[in-house]
Chain A
Amino acid sequence: MASLGELERSVMDLLWSAPEASTANDLRDRLASNEGPDHAGKDLAVTTVLTVLSRLEKKGLVERERGTRPHRYRAVSTREEHTATLMHEALGTAPDREAVLARFIGAVSDAEAATLRRLLARG
């Protein structure tokens, strides 16, 4: 049995690649047919998928379409948008600059970049 964390990952991967909103049943079927190395979807109950979806909803990653039965779920932002958010935080260019993640190199100015290019060309 895969852990909740791994399931969250698999569910998000499915939602990110899905063109439209999916029901918990759809997701369960697609997880069960996944030929991934960890066989995350084997013997998966729909209630487990619903638990995972509600956790993801609480984290603000997934939203439920209103007024449909059964509920249909979709990803709030694309994978690329989330990655860009992480990278902005990591580079200290996010509006909220308080993550204080020590990073290898922050953003550099254009002038600095030009100097560095010369340095690299030289040696």
Chain B
Amino acid sequence: MLLTAYLLALLALVLAWPVPVALSRARWTARSPFAAMVLWQSIALAGGLSMIGAMLVYGLEPLGGNLLAALRRATTIVLGNESPGELHFWHLFALCTAALLTVHLVFTLLLTYARIVTQRRRHRELLALLSSPSGALDRTWVINHPAPVAYCLPGGSRSVTVLSDGLMEALAPEELAAVVRHERAHLTQRHHLLLWAFEAWRAALPWLPTSRLARAAVNSLVEMLADDVARRSTPDAVLVRAIALVAVGSADDGERPPGAHGGSLPATMDNGEDVDVAARLSRLLTPRPPLGRTATAGVLTASALLLAVPTVLLLAPGIA
């Protein structure tokens, strides 16, 4: 039991710091954003599982030779109102921390979800009053604003893509088509769910390097995944031009005097957490081949193993 607790704690530590730091610096992720995304999810899940698992196993150690037996004994103690004499202060402390951490994670996940849903509903209400459907494009709304802006608003069957007048003016038809394909890819691949989960993870444990790095990496990876969908039917050069025009256009817009055209936008990155445009462009300008089949299989196997290790450590001794 103690050995299991130490192994889980070690895994939690490794997944909290060195592994995410190395992965966020790795260059192969731009070549296979999908595999990288799977790996990040596995790191987050395995990290949380081993963190909570380590404290649970340590706390229950005096009650049984394995987790399942100890849990059965703990249930008898709680239900039978017996005195948990075998448990000392540090055991109880670990158990309480594990319980609090679990509640905290679940609660933050739900709270973040509620906040996002509220804000999205409000956004949709305003949008309905301020934009009009695009004549040519299905489920696409056009809003009257001079800055070139494109984004998608997820909401099941009511998902829409929003484009600004400024964007329609700045881009040629094929560039515009690339932007719309990019936004639709976000919606069809349900990227908002990933962004939500990793935003909640960061909000719950902001002091943990892994949660901050993971969110930044996931933000960047979903853009690359959407770019890759647009690239299937658009030459890279067209997409590059669209990205550059939109980025420069929104920066120029911020330099105009405020109020000159109904609300200008600050163009500076406020906290460096935004998606790295340079990384996105460089993989389009100097494309490198995607990871080979063996390498991709290796990354996916590693992801599966990462999840399997804490699960086996927790459950196997009890089942065997």
Contacts and interface: CB of A to CB of B under 8 A. Distances in A.
B127 A86 contact: yes
A87 interface: yes
A8 interface: yes
Contacts of B278: 112, 115
Interface stretch (B36-44, B49-57, B63-71, B150-158): B150-158
Given A103-B149, A105-B250, A88 B120 contact: no
A105 B277 contact: yes
B244 A107 contact: no
Interface string A90-108: 1111001011111111111
Contact of B274 (A81, A106, A115): A106
B263 A104 contact: no
Contacts, number: 155
Contacts of B269: 106-109
A58 B129 CA distance: 15
Contacts of A108: 247-248, 250-251, 267, 269, 274, 277
Given A84-B262, A101-B152, A105-B250, A93 B199 contact: no
A30 interface: no
Interface size grouping (class) on chain B: 35 or more
B236 interface: no
B2 interface: no
Contacts of B154: 101-102
B151 A61 contact: no
**Which residue, A81, A92, A105, has most C-beta atoms of chain B within 10 A?**
A105
Contacts of B149: 87, 90-91, 103-104
B275 A106 contact: yes
Given A12-B129, A82-B126, A110-B268, A98 B199 contact: yes
Contacts of B91: none
Interface string B122-152: 0101111110000000000001110101111
A5 B125 CA distance: 9
Closest 9 CB pairs of A and B: A84-B263, A80-B262, A113-B251, A103-B151, A104-B150, A102-B186, A106-B274, A116-B244, A90-B151
Interface of B: 112, 115-116, 119-120, 123, 125-130, 143-145, 147, 149-154, 162, 164, 179, 182-183, 186, 191-192, 195-196, 199, 222-223, 226, 237, 240-241, 243-248, 250-252, 254, 262-263, 265-270, 274-275, 277-278, 281
Given A99-B119, A113-B251, A116-B248, 7 more contacts: A83-B263, A101-B151, A104-B183, A105-B246, A109-B268, A112-B277, A120-B248
Interface of A: 5, 8-9, 12, 59, 61, 79-93, 96, 98-110, 112-113, 115-117, 119-120, 123
26 contacts: A79-B130, A79-B262, A80-B263, A83-B143, A86-B126, A90-B151, A92-B274, A99-B116, A99-B119, A100-B192, A100-B195, A101-B151, A101-B154, A102-B223, A102-B226, A103-B150, A103-B152, A104-B243, A105-B277, A106-B269, A106-B277, A107-B250, A107-B266, A107-B269, A108-B277, A115-B278
